[in-house]
Amino acid sequence: MKTPLVSVIMPAYNGAKWIEKAILSVLVQSFADFEFIILNDDSSDNTEEIITAFTKYDKRIKYIKNERNLGVQKTRNIALDISLGEYIAEIDQDDEWIDKDKLKKQVEFLIKNSDYVLIGTGVIVVDEGGSEIARYFMPETDLEIRKKILRANCFIHSSVLYKTKSVKEIGGYTVTKMSEDHDLWLRLGRIGKFTNLQEYAVQYCFSVGGYNSQDKFLRLKQNLLFAQEHKDFYPNYLFAIILGWTKICFYPIFNLMPARLKGIFLKLHKKI
């Protein structure tokens, strides 16, 4: 059997409400040379039933179920360990790829630009009912991203495509840290370049209780530690610390805001 060029990874936990749309958005991609690894982290709803229905007619899907709940970081690393593709694309269970050429564009870029290790896209943010609350592009160039990445995650997790070998060399996701994706990008940037396509290729569900949105307050504190850990490799450390503490103080107020107002602040935050 031919080895796929791309491995698509989706961790799942009690995601029955969203996961069907997420899976479909991957399967309809114009770029078809991929394996699709879906790991069920011991869900208690009918997530498994939905996933296995897809495996019956699309053999690109590899379905695995954890015997017990391991958490998203360990689950991502299990998928990473068994991935066969030269590149890995990530998608979370409550997000969607809304550009059918997303993978095609990203793969073509990384093939043509061998010094780059990570590429993302812009995003449309929706609430749990599917209503848009914000849309924004992430910083585009490697220089722009490096100037900002200590103070903010410059990539939408469900938008990224990265080099498998590079991520495995640095040990994958750190299981002892929250905001595991931000931590991974910071480590990955030490060995290669970044970019974001200026296109809205992903729809991100802003969910307070989602599998990948838990303990936001602790994640904000974790980001301060990231800035400290990586200050010798990226600029603007002092600004990152000041902004980090500002976010921590403001978050209780932000959490009480209606979705539309949250969307405005999310968009403003991405411009800082």
pLDDT tier for residue 258 given thresholds of 50, 70 and 90: confident
Nearest alpha carbon to residue 186 among 164, 163, 167, 165: 167
Mean pLDDT of 54-72: 95
- Tell me which of 26-35, 57-66, 207-216 is least confident: 207-216
Mean pLDDT of 195-219: 79
117 pLDDT exceeds 90? yes
Mean pLDDT of 155-162: 97
CA–CA gap between residue 40 and residue 266 (Å, rounded): 30
Q: Which two tokens stand for residue 270?
A: 């991405």
192 pLDDT exceeds 80? yes
pLDDT for 257 equals 75
CA–CA gap between residue 260 and residue 266 (Å, rounded): 10
pLDDT tier for residue 16 given thresholds of 50, 70 and 90: very high
Q: Which two tokens stand for residue 183?
A: 């931590």
Which is it for strands 6-12 and 87-90: parallel, antiparallel or unpaired? parallel
pTM: 0.92
Which is it for strands 96-97 and 116-126: parallel, antiparallel or unpaired? unpaired
Nearest alpha carbon to residue 54 among 13, 23, 28: 23
175 pLDDT exceeds 80? yes
pLDDT for 210 equals 54
Contact between 81 and 50 under an 8 Å Cβ cutoff? The reply is: no
Q: What DSSP letter does each residue of 172-184 carry, written as one string? A: SS-TTSSSHHHHH
Does residue 260 belong to any structural domain of this protein?
yes
Number of domains in the chain: 1
Strand ranges, E, within the chain: 6-12, 34-40, 61-65, 87-90, 96-97, 116-126, 132-136, 161-163, 193-205
pLDDT for 140 equals 98
With pLDDT > 70 as the criterion, what percentage of the chain qualifies?
Answer: 94
Mean pLDDT of 36-54: 97
- Tell me which of 126-130, 186-190, 227-231, 254-258 is least confident: 254-258
Does residue 72 belong to any structural domain of this protein?
yes
CA–CA gap between residue 166 and residue 115 (Å, rounded): 11
Q: Which two tokens stand for residue 221?
A: 């504190």
58 pLDDT exceeds 70? yes
Q: What is the mean pLDDT of the chain?
A: 92
64 pLDDT exceeds 60? yes
Which residue carries 């992430």 as its tokens?
138
211 pLDDT exceeds 50? no
CA angle 106–206–204, rounded 5-degree value: 20
Parent domain of 137: 6-271
pLDDT for 44 equals 95
What CATH number should be reported for the domain holding residue 77? 3.90.550.10
101 pLDDT exceeds 80? yes
82 pLDDT exceeds 70? yes
Mean pLDDT of 190-202: 98
Does residue 1 belong to any structural domain of this protein?
no
pLDDT for 144 equals 98
Does residue 194 belong to any structural domain of this protein?
yes
